[in-house]
Amino acid sequence: MSHVFEVAPTGRAKCRGCNQALARGELRFGERLANPFAEGEMTLWFHPRCAAFKRPEALLEALPQAPEDLPDRADLEHIAQAGLAHRRLPRIDGAERAPSGQAKCRSCREPIPKGTWRIRLVFYEEGRFSPGGFVHLACRTAYFETGDVWEPLAHFSAGLGEDERKELEREVRADPPA
């Protein structure tokens, strides 16, 4: 089983990493794995950058076979290496303001107050990503063991408006919590 890079023949498939369409004619990354539910294999399709963030191991395995003209190759490798070095980074699924005060932080176990920033987590298992709860934005360094989370946060927070995005960036780039 080997992972693949290929040009998307249609625009129908969605990226497993960000849930947005994979545009026809653009290079996409396919992670091949044994189908856990049936005979044979299955392929999970990603934007290469989404795979670098969320499936770093698979992407790094495939990079040596990637087409010469793969855009941002060094950047993809750098992102994926960070995900291997800090094993919780690939769980980042973006940031949002808590719509209620019900969720507890997976890092400190305290409630996340309504209206404050929280980081969404997903867990990958057997070809699926499942919602994995939240951490306070302020708990990012404690939980991810690195303060370097802006890139994946920004990448998977496509739903934020321009102003919200700027606010989030300000908070993330402010003095990192210890």
Least distance (Å) between residue 157 CB and Zn ion: 13
Q: Judged by CB, which is closer to Zn ion: 25, or 34?
A: 25
Regarding 140 and contact with Zn ion (CB under 5 A), the answer is no
Tell which positions 61-90 bind Zn ion, by CB under 5 A: none
Which residue in 13, 17, 44, 54 binds Zn ion (CB under 5 A)? 17
Among 13, 18, 60, 80, binds Zn ion (CB under 5 A): 18
CB of 60 to Zn ion, least distance (A): 17
Contact letters (x/-) for Zn ion, 89-108, by CB under 5 A?
----------------x-xx
Cβ atoms within 10 Å of 118's Cβ, excluding its own = 22
Please give the Cα distance from 108 to 169 (Å, whole number): 22
User: Would you give the binding string for Zn ion spanning residues 36-55, x where CB under 5 A is met?
Assistant: -----------x--x-----
Instruction: Establish if 157 lies at the interface with Zn ion (CB under 5 A).
Output: no
The span from the CA of 34 to the CA of 68, in Å, is 28
CB of 133 to Zn ion, least distance (A): 11
Q: Which two tokens stand for residue 158?
A: 């496509």
The residue range among 1-9, 54-62, 67-75, 129-137 that interacts with Zn ion, by the rule CB under 5 A, is 129-137
| 66 in Cβ contact with 74 (< 8 Å) | no
| CA separation for the pair 171, 51 (Å, rounded) | 26
Q: How far is the CB of 80 from Zn ion (least distance, A)?
A: 14
Q: Which residues bind Zn ion (CB under 5 A)?
A: 15, 17-18, 47, 50, 105, 107-108, 136, 139
